[in-house]
Structure 1
Amino acid sequence: MGKRFWIAGAVLALASIIAVPRANDDLLPDDPVYFRFARVRFNENGRFFRFGWAHDYPRAERNFLKILSEVTSVQTTPESYTIVDLDDPRIMDYPLLYFSEPGTWGVTPAEAENLREYFRRGGFAIFDDFDGPWQWAAFMSSMKRVLPERKMERLTLDHPIFQCFYEIETLDMVAPRSYGPAEFYGMSDDTGRLQVIVNFNNDIGDFWEWSDTDFFPVSLSNEAYKLGVNYVIYAMTH
Structure 2
Amino acid sequence: MRILCLFFIATLAPLFVNAQEIAVLEYGGGGDWYSNPTALPNLIQFCNQQINTTMERKPQTVAPGSVDIYDYPFVHMTGHGNVFFSSEEAENLRNYLLSGGFLHIDDNYGMDQYLRKELVKVFPDKELKELPGNHPLFSIAFPFPKGLPKIHEHDRGRPQAFGIEHEGRLLLLYTFESDLGDGWENPEIHNDPADVRQKALQMGANIIKYAFEN
Q: TM-score, normalised by structure 1?
A: 0.76
Residue aligning to 2:88: 110
Aligned-partner Cα distance in 1 for 2:169–2:81: 24
1:225 deviation in Å?
0.8
Residue aligning to 1:71: 50
Residue aligning to 1:187: 164
CA RMSD, aligned part only? 2.1
Residue aligning to 2:126: 150
1:223 deviation in Å?
1.0
Q: TM-score, normalised by structure 2?
A: 0.84
- Indicate conservation of the 8 Å contact 2:184/2:200, yes or no: yes
Matched, 1:56 2:33: no
Matched, 1:230 2:206: yes
- Indicate conservation of the 8 Å contact 1:172/1:181, yes or no: no
- Indicate conservation of the 8 Å contact 1:168/1:226, yes or no: no
Residue aligning to 1:29: none
Aligned-partner Cα distance in 2 for 1:173–1:74: 23
- Equivalent residue for 1:96, pick from 57, 67, 74: 74
CA 1:214–1:141 in 2, change beyond 3 Å: closer, same or farther? closer
Any idea what SS the aligned residue of 1:126 has? strand
Question: Could you list the runs of 5+ residues in structure 1 that have no partner in the other structure?
Answer: 1-31
How many percent identity over aligned positions?
23
1:138 deviation in Å?
2.0
Q: How many residues align?
A: 197
Residue aligning to 1:43: 28
Matched, 1:124 2:102: yes
Question: Could you list the runs of 5+ residues in structure 2 that have no partner in the other structure?
Answer: 1-15
1:179-215 deviation per Cα after TM superposition (whole angstroms, max 9, x unaligned):
32211111100x2111111111121111111336670
1:36 deviation in Å?
2.0
1:165 deviation in Å?
1.5
